[in-house]
A and B are shown apart, each in its own frame.
Chain A
Amino acid sequence: MTTADLLAHFFGASATGITISNKIATGYAKVGDQDVCVIGTVDGTYIDNAAALQMSEQVLDCVRSKPGVPIVMLVDSEGQEPNRTAEMLGLPVYFGHLLTCLQVAREAGHKLITVATGKAIGGAFICYGMFADSIYALDSATVGLMPVEAMSAVTKIPVAILEELSKTLPALEFGAAPFALLGGVKAVWPTDETLADKLSAAIAAATPEDTRAALGKERGGRPQAYDVQQRVLAESAR
């Protein structure tokens, strides 16, 4: 599906309000009758210092000029391209700035909704999409830390072993459905004509509480996280 098709699914004719420059989408559109601000990556692009600034500028514009308008984040990015100049200029700081802008928006009353539309991998997902109040993924999206081949190359554990284990450990599997079992996305959406309605309902339902650990426990994909968090909270209160 082309980016234009995808945007039309979510935003209909109002998708014309979204500009794509250097594979970064920014602008304003409508989901049903609801005005929204849109930031995102398209075509599996790499995200770098400049991309982070493009998106943060849009978030700041929204906070300044569109009080309370929900911010929709679309994610289709391969990750960050390993690059020495990007690192020298402080890539994590650029990502941290984007997250801080999103926090300022949240505190100003903007709801934050993410849809992983394509690749949602590693740092590219952490640096904005995973910061939302509610996170969703298309069923065709490839969501996760990295494919088992890449995991194998670094950990030296054979692909066959990782693939076998991933049958019972969704954390090692790559995709939208296993990521949902971990609580990392709330729901997986089929790419069809109901997307705009689903997004509209998701915006209405969003609250800022982070429920991912509880979801991961309930769905069985991340059995330890919630209990360990709660134990620390209980022990520290004594």
Chain B
Amino acid sequence: MSLTPYHELKARERIAVIADAGSFREILPPPERVMSTYLPKLGIPVSFDDGLAIGHATIGGKPVYLAAQVGQFVGGSVGEVHSAKLVGLLKSAARDKIPCVFLIESGGVRLHEGSSGEIGIAEAIRAVFSCRAAGATTLAVIGSDIGAYGGMGILSSCCDFRLMTEHGRLGISGPIVIEKWMGKQAFDSANRALVWKTSGGKTRYVLGDADLLVNDSADSVRAGIISFLSKSAKPDLAMVEARQASLEARLEKFGQISDPDEIWKTCGITDIAAASLAEAEDFAKSFHPQNS
């Protein structure tokens, strides 16, 4: 039992509370010293796991492949080794037809490794779809402060399912980048309420981008993960046609508005202040997501 806030945990602590006790076996653990050759050339400290712990485990008795990004190391960013570990894990999951669960905490491609990490993310996206084609569930768990941005935001959106907490954010450009581009008037990156209502778990759940919204506790996240392990969402024409229609409708309906509260209201949330303060699971129960 653990009520520890999930967002406060580090990668291996997350694995410890999510996986069945003692079940995690790490692949290429830190003693193997599989790490970046770019960072030393730039005078930046390396990490013996390149900011990613991967391995196999059981969760609720079910075998899974599990990956956890280390946000404290270069923002959980994805370089050559980091992405290759992700790709190897995904290909293992597709081969063995068992679920692959990502505990995501990443700003996206590691700029210090240039196009290498970019290609690595593109390979990982191909591998996500190999899993989906094989019926091996891919689940993105987004509940850290850093969230899932850039290429990791895109990769997360390619998985069968997304589980989020209120703390998790799913996006491409982060608030500081947008503020620099559009100006503080348009987006004040220090306005935490607006930042989280733009990309955070509640808004993503309201719009149907997160399949499940759970409380920010290790137990809630674990229970949420277990609920997906026997499901998969193999893409087919009917599925993407329905999605095309709903994403068009979303753009039509909300394309001209800038206030996320308007989205919440349109989706049937009447008391914005109360909904903002509500625990994630109470919030989720209070209305039916649009699935749009």
Interface residues, chain A, CB within 8 Å of chain B?
49-50, 53, 56-57, 60, 63-64, 80-85, 87-97, 99-101, 103-104, 107-108, 122-123, 125-127, 130-131, 143-146, 151, 154-155, 157, 161, 165-166, 169-174, 178-179, 182-184, 210, 212-213, 216, 221-233, 235-237
A236-B65 in contact given A213-B87, A229-B91 (Cβ < 8 Å): yes
* Residue of B87, B235, B236, B260 touching A229 (CB-CB under 8 A): B87
Which B residues from 195 to 246 make CB contacts under 8 A with A?
197-199, 203-204, 207, 209, 235-237, 239-241, 243-244
The CA of A56 and the CA of B244, in the complex, are separated in Å by 8
- Please tell me if the beta carbons of A82 and B182 are within 8 angstroms of each other in the complex: yes
Cβ distance A87 to chain B, nearest Cβ, rounded Å: 5
Chain A contact residues: helix, strand, loop or mixed: helix
Of the A-B pairs whose beta carbons lie under 8 Å apart in the complex, a sample of 7, sorted by A's number, is A84-B186, A85-B255, A88-B254, A101-B244, A145-B109, A145-B117, A236-B88
The CA of A166 and the CA of B112, in the complex, are separated in Å by 11
Tell which of B123-131, B265-273, B278-286 binds the partner: B123-131
* Residue of B95, B116, B118, B257 touching A233 (CB-CB under 8 A): B95
Q: Which residues of A contact B257 (CB under 8 A)?
A: 85
Which B residues from 128 to 165 make CB contacts under 8 A with A?
129, 132-133, 148, 150-151, 153-154, 156-158
A91-B126 in contact given A96-B157, A184-B119, A235-B28 (Cβ < 8 Å): no
- Please tell me if the beta carbons of A92 and B240 are within 8 angstroms of each other in the complex: no
- Please tell me if the beta carbons of B123 and A123 are within 8 angstroms of each other in the complex: no
Chain B contact residues: helix, strand, loop or mixed: helix
- Please tell me if the beta carbons of B199 and A87 are within 8 angstroms of each other in the complex: yes
A92-B171 in contact given A82-B177, A171-B115 (Cβ < 8 Å): yes
Q: Which residues of B contact A157 (CB under 8 A)?
A: 42, 112
Q: Who on chain A is nearest to B256 by CB?
A: A85
Q: Which residues of A contact B127 (CB under 8 A)?
A: 210
- Please tell me if the beta carbons of A225 and B204 are within 8 angstroms of each other in the complex: no
The CA of A168 and the CA of B235, in the complex, are separated in Å by 41
Q: Who on chain A is nearest to B241 by CB?
A: A60
Q: Who on chain B is nearest to A151 by CB?
A: B111
- Please tell me if the beta carbons of B151 and A232 are within 8 angstroms of each other in the complex: no
Which 3 A/B pairs are nearest by Cβ-Cβ distance?
A232-B88, A96-B157, A228-B84
* Residue of B54, B118, B154 touching A99 (CB-CB under 8 A): B154
The CA of A60 and the CA of B129, in the complex, are separated in Å by 17
- Please tell me if the beta carbons of B198 and A84 are within 8 angstroms of each other in the complex: yes
Q: Chain B, 95-112, contact with A by CB distance < 8 Å: what is the 0/1 string?
A: 110000000000001011
A236-B157 in contact given A57-B244, A97-B243 (Cβ < 8 Å): no
- Please tell me if the beta carbons of B154 and A144 are within 8 angstroms of each other in the complex: no
- Please tell me if the beta carbons of A63 and B244 are within 8 angstroms of each other in the complex: no
- Please tell me if the beta carbons of A228 and B54 are within 8 angstroms of each other in the complex: no
The CA of A80 and the CA of B151, in the complex, are separated in Å by 12
* Residue of B54, B126, B173 touching A232 (CB-CB under 8 A): B54
